[in-house]
Amino acid sequence: MAEFFPDAPDYRLRPLVEVPVEDTLSELKKLLPELPEQISIWLDSRHMIPDTGSGGFAYAPDIINISFDEHFPDKAEQLKYLRGTIFHEGYHLVQGHTYERPVHQYKTALENAVYEGCATVFEREYAQVSPLWGDYSRHSDAQLSEWQEVMAQITKAQYEEPGSKLYPNWAFYDPTDKQRWKMYKTGAWIVDRVLKKSEKDIRELRHLSAQEILSICDEGIEQK
């Protein structure tokens, strides 16, 4: 099911990840049957999360970029998070939240947060990992709501403007308030609220746009 690009910067790592990637994709296909029959894997270190020794990026509807630290000391923990990464990025592929050829184009930073929140909740629930970027337990609802309001005012163009610090500050680390993963945490919080209100499973959101998901949360629509 997986095809590895031989010209990728870290192609030499293929023997370390090929079996877990193949096994995880086969497992994931049963949960997300819309996944392509063949997924291409680009190995490089650009999306590395140092805390987990792995990382990923949904580049296109049939391409996942994977980062893998060959020197990460706790291999069992690393492989657990690699599995979560593939679940996360696979959800993006099905939902259409990809860099190239996206099905759903987000219009604001908040909509991007919703797509990331969906994938984060999915990996938490189905890969049975505890993604650090999805743990909002130390933040109050007031704080998360404030972040939600601010991101709703950031347009896609502002978010992605070359040289702008908006995306890395919200997605990864904001030096002004020393907070990590604000976008991911807010997205996971929103998606959890939607699931609670609608009594849906996260898999049932995989074909909805961010706008549709936010409408459930904002209007409190009870759907089953």
Percent of the chain residues topping a pLDDT of 70: 97
pLDDT given for residue 94 in this prediction:
98
What pTM value is reported for the model? 0.95
- pLDDT-based confidence at residue 217 (cuts at 50, 70, 90): confident
Exposed e or buried b for every residue in 114-139, given b needs 16+ CB within 10 A? bbbbbbbbbbbebbebebebbebeeb
Q: Average the pLDDT over 214-224 and give the result.
A: 60
> Model confidence at 1, in pLDDT bands (50, 70, 90)?
confident
Mean pLDDT of 110-121: 98
**Structure confidence at residue 219 as a pLDDT band (50, 70, 90):** low
Largest CA distance in the chain: 50
Spatial contact of 5 and 40, defined as CB atoms under 8 Å apart: yes
Residue 223 has pLDDT above 80, yes or no: no
Which one, of 61, 199, 64, lies nearest residue 216 by Cα? 199
Q: Domains in the chain and their CATH numbers?
A: 2-95 (3.30.2010), 109-219 (no CATH)
pLDDT tens-digit profile of 79-103? 999 999 999 999 999 999 999 999 9
CB of 113 closer than 8 Å to CB of 190: yes
